[in-house]
Amino acid sequence: MALIGNPNAGKTTLFNNLTGLRAKTANFPGTTIERRIGQARIAGRQVELLDLPGLYSLTSDRPEERLVREVLLGGVPDQPRPAAVVLLMDATNLERNLYLASQILELGLPTVVALNMVDLAERSSIEINPERLSTELGCPVVSIVARSGRGIEDLRERIGQLVEPPHGLHVVGAPNDLSDCIGCPFKARYDWAESVSARCSNGRPMTHGQQTERLDAVLTHPWAGVGVFLGIMLAVFALIFWLAQYPMDWIDRGFALAGSAIGQLLPAGDLRSLVVDGVIGGVGGVLVFLPQICILFFFLALLEDTGYLARAAFVMDRLMRRVGLPGKAFVPMLSAHACAVPAIMATRVIDNWRDRLVTILVLPLFTCSARIPIYAMVTALLFPHQPVLAAATFTGAYVMGIVAALGTAFLFKRTVLPGETKPLVLELPGYKVPGLKTALLYTYDRARIFVKRAGTIILVASIILWALASYPKSDPPASAESLQAEAGRMESAGDREAATAMRAEAADLAAQSRLANSFAGRLGRAVEPILRPLGYDWQIGVGILSSFVAREVIVSTLAVVYGVGEAAVEEDPRPLYETLERAERADGSPVFTVATSVSLLVFYVLALQCVSTLAISRRETNSWKWPLFQLAYMSGLAYLTALIAYQSLRFFGVS
Amino acid sequence: MAPDTDPELAVTTPAASPGIEEAIPLDRVEAGHCGLVHEVRAGETEIEQLQAMGVCAGRKVMLVKTGDPMILKVLGSRIGVSARLASQVMVLPCGGDMFGQS
């Protein structure tokens, strides 16, 4: 059974009301359009309820409408033709909703009309006669209020009795003929809608109250509207940063605890390392995204439900159009400053596929929170004692990300994905108090999709990168062995403190040599000739490779390859900065010169370096083609820009 | 009369006869004025969506807010539309302000 209706008619609320928590969200096979399937108990039977995308008509070329048309005609593989249709209509806007109704009823599927928001209609003195409407449409009509649950039981009962198709309604053309001629059918259908509406109601279309008018005067104002929107989004964005850090911290700590607890149960060796560092570390790496995803989608769902998000898209449209993207691309772009993963998931609001794809492609260029530790490291190297310059560098890196993303979007709209920016057509629904339950269910849904679809890819990639850094095994170097022996002597001489310090130093040396001799270390050496023109040595190469799991990993990897010790850095990164400052090449020249530091910063502003982003792009574009293109163009852009930065700094005598 | 209803929009036959007046693009209608849709120049997918939302021949549209994008009122809903699309909708000005008192 399928649920269908206009956008903003309350479809999601009714769907949740009928199915409870038992719904599954997935894409229609071979598309990026989502379908939700839930189990509803109707007349003692389990009925599968399919939630179709909200739409205004069935006949246009938009992919959603084509898909819904195909589903209702039974032409979609793996999606049986619905046996019946629940057609949701907004009582406050009967005439407009009758337009879609005429097209659905002509399909001849058994249909029941759920007339929603009758409470709002009553309050605006709109009177609708459901019996009369039922006669006009040739199918049962039930008045409901999806939000409060009024009339839902009656609706269930009517659905249970559904067997007969509606009797013979033809507004335009023959039954099942959806190939309307151009121009006339709209008028014919609306003339019909108007006459039906006039016969079944007191004919008063609802206009939005004074409150909506007044709010809109501010919220859709070209300047004030943008200001309010930026204020709201910055607050949400700050909340993501601030609120998410606590659960993220708990997840990090919880997994570290679990790792050491389980580690103690397993004998030292490969299995322990795989379970603790590979699997537990990898699962932790997936779950650590959840707080940001949940907070972002919870607030977006609330904002959407109030009707505000449509106004935000409206005011931003004028500005975003200049780079060739619709106003709806702005919310994902702002969210990408926290994390590209939820931002890419949030691009679903963009109707046009090309616009959505361009947005997905450029989102990882915005500075996400995982880049902050790297920016902090590089600015500390560049300006250890000049906070103002350090802050300016930080800001510069953010601006560079924004300019790169908007510029790339502008470029892509003219080259790879040409096409005019789609003009805006957007309903501005009446404002209302948001529903908490709908928002929570939506948040839960997004979180589940992320863990299921992107989680596995992230986990596998983490284990591969773990293996690269752990194999082949090598013996600890002689220097570490002798330090251990020395520590033993110290301990027997009673100097415990010195012994512990030496043991730690020996462990750092062993870790350094292990990584240097591993596949990752060898790969770092192998790519060194390619990275040399950017001013990097093989240690930085290892850092770049290992930071594919997550960008911030480069900081701890550099700590290991330069022998500072990972544990020490987590407590206080300053020794690392000092070590890096002192790090020397074979010829005695320092590694982290100004030119190399700037080049590294530029590289990390622009490079993709994030397997989770690739995984979520794969899920949202339904192919590997676009994430691989994303990886290629961003790596190329990062390499070239870092090359230009390093070489020109050297040319002008800055080294 | 309830403040939430709009008698002007309920009537689809023009109150004042448009008569000899010529059809103008919707984006040239002034804020607070109504227009009777005369012709929609078809072509784009988006214009079809606009028509499905009620901006089609024979319907009355009110311009709530000018600009690009602009806000229209048609049937019971408010719709944000790009000026470029609106320029493809030809309307006969049917006079009257928001509440039909001109």
Considering the domain architecture, whether residues A293 and A431 belong to the same structural domain is answered as: yes
- Whether the per-residue pLDDT at A307 is higher than 80: the answer is yes
Contact status of B80 with chain A (Cβ, < 8 Å): yes
Between CA A536 and CA A524 the distance in angstroms is 10
A84 and A131 together in one domain: yes
Please check whether residue A425 touches B, CB under 8 A: yes
Q: In total, how many domains does chain B have?
A: 1
Which of residues 574 through 593 in chain A touch B, CB cutoff 8 A?
none
Q: Is residue A72 very low, low, confident or very high in pLDDT (cuts 50, 70, 90)?
A: very high
Are residues A359 and A392 located together in one domain of the fold?
A: yes
Answer yes or no: is pLDDT of A172 > 70: no
% of chain B at pLDDT higher than 90: 35
Question: Is residue B53 a contact partner of residue A56, using CB atoms and an 8 Å limit?
Answer: yes
A585 in a structural domain: no
Average confidence (pLDDT) over A581-600:
84
Is residue A77 predicted with pLDDT exceeding 90? no
CA-nearest residue to A66 within chain B is B45
How far is B73 from chain A, CA to nearest CA, in Å? Answer: 8
Q: For A86-170, where are the alpha helices, taking DSSP H only?
A: 94-105, 118-123, 130-137, 152-160
Cα–Cα distance, B11 to B23 (Å, whole number): 19
Question: Is the interface score ipTM higher than 0.90?
Answer: no
| Interface contact A61, partner B, CB < 8 A | yes
pLDDT for A358-407, tens place per residue? 999 999 999 988 888 888 888 888 888 888 888 889 889 989 999 999 99
**What CATH code is carried by the domain that includes residue B49?**
2.30.30.90
Least confident of A236-240, A302-306, A441-445, B22-26: A236-240
Query: Does B51 contact chain A (CB < 8 Å)?
Result: yes
State the average pLDDT over residues A82-110: 91
Among residues of chain A, what percentage have pLDDT more than 70?
94
Cα–Cα nearest to A72, from A209, A187, A202, A176: A176
Alpha helices in A493-607 (DSSP H): 496-517, 519-531, 538-546, 553-561, 566-571, 574-582, 594-606
Q: Is the pLDDT score of B1 beyond 50?
A: no
Bridge partner residues of A23 (DSSP)? A38
The span from the CA of A54 to the CA of A68, in Å, is 9
Instruction: Decide which of A178, A206, A234 is a domain's last residue.
Output: A206
Residue of A nearest to B78 (CA): A428
Q: Is B65 on the interface with A (CB under 8 A)?
A: yes
> Is A66 touching B (CB cutoff 8 A)?
no
**Distances, alpha carbon A592 to alpha carbons A115, A572, A585, A596, in Å:** 69, 20, 10, 6
- A185-194, A324-333, B80-89: segment of lowest average pLDDT: A185-194
Last residue of a domain, one of A176, A206, A236: A206
Residue A411 lies in a domain: yes
CA distance linking residue A607 with residue A401, whole number of Å: 10
Cβ(A81)–Cβ(A107) below 8 Å = no
Q: How far apart are CA A323 and CA A405, in angstroms?
A: 10
Query: What is the per-residue burial (b if ≥16 Cβ within 10 Å, else e) of A312-323?
Result: bbbbbbbebbeb
Taking residues A309-316, report their average pLDDT.
93
Q: How confident is the model at residue A570 (pLDDT cuts 50, 70, 90)?
A: low
> Residue A77 belongs to what domain range?
2-206
Contacts of B45 in chain A (CB under 8 A): 60-62
Q: Which residue of B2, B52, B75 is in closest CB contact with A60? A: B52
Answer yes or no: is A153 within a domain. Answer: yes
Using the predicted structure, report yes or no on whether residue A182 has a pLDDT greater than 80: no
Do residue A220 and residue B56 have CB atoms under 8 angstroms apart?
Answer: no
Question: What part of A 218-257 touches B (C-beta under 8 Å)?
Answer: 220, 222
Element holding A90 (H helix, E strand) = strand A85-90
Tokens for A248, please give them: 């993220």
Angle ∠(A339,A342,A346) on CA atoms, nearest 5: 130
Q: What is the pTM of this model?
A: 0.84
What tokens does A256 get?
A: 């570290």
Q: Are B16 and B96 in contact (CB under 8 A)?
A: yes
Record the tokens describing residue A96, joined without a space.
Answer: 């407009």
What CA–CA distance (Å, rounded) separates A88 from A116?
A: 7
A275 and A405 in a common domain:
yes
The total number of structural domains in chain A stands at: 2
pLDDT band of residue A51 (cuts 50, 70, 90) is very high
Q: What are phi and psi of A326, to 5 degrees?
A: -75, 160
> Is B75's CB within 8 Å of A57's CB?
no
Q: Of B26, B72, B78, which to mutate for an interface test with A (greatest number of A Cβ within 10 Å)?
A: B78
A33 lies in the same domain as A170: yes
Given this model, what pLDDT does residue A571 score? 64
CA distance to partner chain B, nearest, from residue A365 (Å): 28
